[in-house]
Chains A and B, each alone.
Chain A
């Protein structure tokens, strides 16, 4: 059985519920015209995102992609930060400069910011793993990629590079049935994306992406391999995006029968039943968590709405990091004696 204590198991339940509630609130605000741009949510992926990220330890790095709210919350990013980010307020992690779930904190929560291009988070994640290996740290990097993202060059280049250098990288493929609106049947001919691991000479695993504990367990096993210098792993979490690609997407291309089928396997419901069977959860506790989650969402909304808009006068500042120390004084440069460069016959 899994090495999780009661509080940890209930913590996963809380985070999955919080993920869904924050997403539902976000979609509602989008449809009310309160959020600009595009909103990507991941109803149905809560077990994959929360389960995998729950296997991380302090100092391990998370490299999420665009719809991995559950992983961000599991890493300690707060609903307040998320809502302020969606509203592009000054109290958002990006202070209004970037939107969506592109949130960075490498100081205390070890989150690399997602980038708006599929697959592009992976080489950066591998670089974080390279830094850990170079410094001899026993940390790992957990990176997420979608089924569509596995078709990019960055996915292949990165997995091969990480394998060749034995980097402590775990790549979770969220196979949720669709890349934007294109079904997986139009994207690749293999049955399991995890089979691609064979091409890099690394372990590949298929896991039920709607089973939070199964995802947690396989991620932890891969983390142990990575932590002990035995290189990267590829994990395919088979799950289903129970909504359209974005909040603007009606999802009319998704067969109702498939949606119904996956609703029967709703990861939050499955997990609740499991905790109930373990005697850890009952109706009273479910109600209590529901109240706590609703309060957290209301608090986050109030916080974000009260946060000021970014000051347009700051638009162009902090493009570059400042020079830490002036490299040398101007006097030294100007008075340095120079001999003419020998360039006789340079064009011969």
Chain B
């Protein structure tokens, strides 16, 4: 596969490229949201230029709502379009809880497969806005509990593009959680050829032998940094990037634990009843005989997301805390 001439693509541009390519490929793909048109510069300018190219009929500026916006996208999806909804922040998902949870997620099952909802809801989640309780939340814990939803959280430009293309082609509702912090901080040369990354597959970002750090999103980079630190201490840590949070890649988790025998789960979302709890339970049920030490979690404490830099630093896991927790995992046996 040929790479572009070293012209590295940002995470934000990768998302934009995926939208443009899918809209070119399939005329049923439409964009809906506030400020997705060219009149205003959408969030991170990701949809800039798409309305000029594809028209206002396919790149639709919507009045400010969450429930009616997502509900309308569900209706359009049932009727054969493939809407991609742009919500500025994942925090806004709560306003669309009804159409997502009560309508979209149940539709295929409750109609015994008669109706499909090929819908993608894009939003930026996680740290990066430095703006307190309503612009940095991680919503995956709210939605991972809901049967019938897929949740994707890419950590690299390559994955952001390939996974978004897969999400758009998927016949089910997909929450696509772009990471706010990574939009413009990462660059990566992407293949010229088209590629699509199947949903539901984790990827090992670093191979190791003594412990697996299971994580996703921006925490992948903290985990990699922690692994580098730990290597200087003679500790070999594997970093597993989940990429898709629902459905989880149980096979990849089990495969990693089969040789590392220890696990630390790291996420930005708060601790209690978060995704880490589910992963830990799955490991306990299915990988118990592989384990040499208890599974541990490192997550944000059970308080709302703070605004001040000092509080935010105390709130989020970082490389130092991950490394320290790994040392505890290794000692716990």
The answer to whether A and B assemble together is: yes
**B221 and A346 contacting across the interface, CB-CB below 8 Å:** yes
Residues of B with C-beta under 8 A to A131: 75-76, 79-81
- Check if B94 is an interface residue, CB within 8 A of chain A: no
Interface residue ranges of A68-108 to B (CB < 8 Å)? 93-95, 97-98, 102, 104-107
Given A124-B72, A333-B197, A339-B3 in contact, is the A161-B30 Cβ separation under 8 Å? Answer: no
A contacts with B, residue count (CB < 8 A): 61
**A341 and B112 contacting across the interface, CB-CB below 8 Å:** no
**B108 and A157 contacting across the interface, CB-CB below 8 Å:** no
Given A126-B75, A127-B74, A320-B148 in contact, is the A154-B189 Cβ separation under 8 Å? Answer: no
The minimal Cβ–Cβ distance linking A3 to chain B, given in whole angstroms, is 28
Given A337-B1, A342-B187 in contact, is the A134-B30 Cβ separation under 8 Å? Answer: yes
**A324 and B171 contacting across the interface, CB-CB below 8 Å:** yes
Name which of B42-50, B55-63, B274-282 contacts chain A: B55-63
Given A326-B198, A342-B187, A343-B221 in contact, is the A106-B78 Cβ separation under 8 Å? Answer: yes
Interface residue ranges of A161-178 to B (CB < 8 Å)? 161, 164-165
The minimal Cβ–Cβ distance linking B19 to chain A, given in whole angstroms, is 16
**B67 and A127 contacting across the interface, CB-CB below 8 Å:** no
The minimal Cβ–Cβ distance linking A185 to chain B, given in whole angstroms, is 27
Q: Secondary structure of the A side of the interface?
A: loop
Interface residue ranges of A312-346 to B (CB < 8 Å)? 318-328, 332-333, 335-339, 341-343, 346
- Check if A125 is an interface residue, CB within 8 A of chain B: yes
**A319 and B1 contacting across the interface, CB-CB below 8 Å:** no
**B188 and A342 contacting across the interface, CB-CB below 8 Å:** yes
Selected from A94, A98, A161, A341, the residue in CB contact (under 8 A) with B69 is A161
**B98 and A319 contacting across the interface, CB-CB below 8 Å:** no
- Check if A56 is an interface residue, CB within 8 A of chain B: no
The minimal Cβ–Cβ distance linking A106 to chain B, given in whole angstroms, is 6
The minimal Cβ–Cβ distance linking A12 to chain B, given in whole angstroms, is 28
Q: What string of 1s and 0s marks CB contacts (under 8 Å) between B291-307 and chain A? A: 00000000000000000
Interface residue ranges of B131-190 to A (CB < 8 Å)? 147-148, 150, 156-158, 165-166, 169-172, 185-189
Name which of A109-117, A213-221, A234-242, A263-271 contacts chain B: A109-117
Complex CA gap A266/B149 in Å reads 46
**B195 and A328 contacting across the interface, CB-CB below 8 Å:** yes
Selected from A98, A322, A328, A335, the residue in CB contact (under 8 A) with B171 is A322
- Check if B102 is an interface residue, CB within 8 A of chain A: yes
Nearest residue, chain B, Cβ from A125: B75
Selected from B3, B57, B65, B172, the residue in CB contact (under 8 A) with A320 is B172
Residues of B with C-beta under 8 A to A343: 185-186, 221, 224
Binding site for A on B (CB under 8 A): 1, 3, 8, 30, 57-58, 60, 62-63, 65, 67-81, 83, 98-99, 102-103, 107-116, 118, 147-148, 150, 156-158, 165-166, 169-172, 185-189, 191, 195-198, 221, 224-225, 318
17 pairs of residues in contact across A and B, judged by CB atoms under 8 Å: A104-B115, A112-B78, A115-B102, A122-B71, A123-B72, A125-B75, A130-B72, A154-B68, A158-B72, A160-B68, A161-B65, A321-B171, A327-B169, A336-B191, A341-B157, A341-B158, A346-B186
Which 3 residue pairs of A and B lie closest in terms of their CB atoms, listed nearest first? A127-B75, A123-B71, A157-B68
Extra contacts, 18 of them, besides A128-B76, A346-B186 (Cβ < 8 A), are A94-B110, A94-B111, A97-B112, A98-B110, A104-B111, A104-B115, A113-B107, A122-B68, A123-B67, A126-B75, A131-B81, A157-B69, A320-B108, A333-B198, A336-B1, A343-B221, A346-B185, A347-B225
